[in-house]
Amino acid sequence: MKKLIIIAAIVLLPVAFIALAIYHTNTLRSTQFTWQNRRVPPEFNGFRIVQLSDLHNARFGREQSRLLRMVQQAQPNMIAMTGDMIDEQTRSLAPMRELLAGVRTVAPDIPMFFVDGNHDPQSSFYAEMLDLFRQHNVTVLHGTALLQHNGASMTIAGMGHWGVGHMGNTDIFLAHDPLRFEQFAQHGGGLMLAGHNHGGQVSLPNGQAIIGPRLTLWPEYSSGVYINGDSTMFLSRGLGTSRIPFRLFATPEVAVIELKAE
C-alpha cells in the first residue's frame, strides 16, 4: 500500500504542479490601492491610474479581450506602462497593437505614459513599438510632465531602466526598477510605480518572491506597497513571463491606483 502511495505521489505531484503553474500564469487579477496624500489636490480625488507592466508581449484572450475588459472595468483616468512590454523573444507586435487599439477604443482621450524596461530596447521591434506609441498618443516619459485634471495639475516624471529620464521631487514617478525607490524617497517624492520583479514570478504562497531579477535570493522587494518616509511605491507583479515560461503564486496583475486628497 505504501508503495502505491509513493508511486501515486510521484505521478500526481508533477501533474498538480503543471496545472497550478498554468492556472497562475493565465489568471489575471486586479489589485486596488488608494494613495491618500497631501500632494493630491482635491480636484484629483477619485483619479484612477491603471498600471500595466512587464507584458513581455503576452496575450490574454483573443485580441487581448480579457486584459482590456479589466482595464475598461477600472474606468481609468490614466494608463501607466512601466516597462518590458516587449522583449528579445518578440516576433510580432500584434499583442501590443491589440492592447493599444483596445485601450484607445474604450478610453480615447486619457493620458498614457511609458518608461523603458531592461528588455524593451533590446528587442528588434523597439523602434516599431515607439512608432506605435506615437500613433496612439502614448508619451514616452524621459522627463517631467504636467498631469492635468479638473483644472488642477500634478507633476509626473519617468526614468527608463538604463537611467534615461528624470526623478526629482515629483508627485508621481514611473520607473521600471524598484531599486530606484530609495533614491526617490531621498528626493522627497510622492508616489512611485514600478515593475521588473514579476512578484518573483515564482513566489511563496504569501507573495514573498524567492528569486529577484538579479538572481538574488529573497529580494527586498516582491510586490505591493512599500513606504519610505513620506514616499510610497506600488510595485506591480506585471503580466507576462521572462526566463521561465510560467508563474507560481505570482499571478498576472492589473493594478488600479486611486488618488485621494489628504
The domain locations on the chain are: 2-261
Angle between the 126-135 and 94-106 helix axes, to the nearest 10 degrees?
20
Residue that the C-alpha cell 497631501 belongs to: 38
Q: Which residues pair with 158 in a beta bridge?
A: 174
9 band by pLDDT with thresholds 50, 70 and 90: low
Return the C-alpha cell found at 234.
Answer: 506600488
Q: Residue 4: is its pLDDT beyond 70?
A: no
Mean pLDDT lowest among 57-71, 157-171, 189-203: 157-171
Q: What grid cell was written down for 47?
A: 483619479
Whether residue 170 is predicted with pLDDT greater than 70 in this model: the reply is: yes
* pLDDT at position 12 over 90: no
How many Å is the maximal CA-CA distance in the chain? 74
For residue 20, what are the CA distances in angstroms to 12, 27, 205, 239?
12, 10, 12, 17
Instruction: Tell which CATH architecture fits domain 2-261.
Output: 4-Layer Sandwich (3.60)
Query: CA angle, corner 173, sides to 168 and 177, nearest 5?
Result: 100
- Order across the sheet with 78-81: list the strands: 29-37, 253-261, 48-52, 78-81, 112-114, 138-140
pLDDT tens-digit readout, 19-55: 999 999 999 999 999 999 999 999 999 999 999 999 9
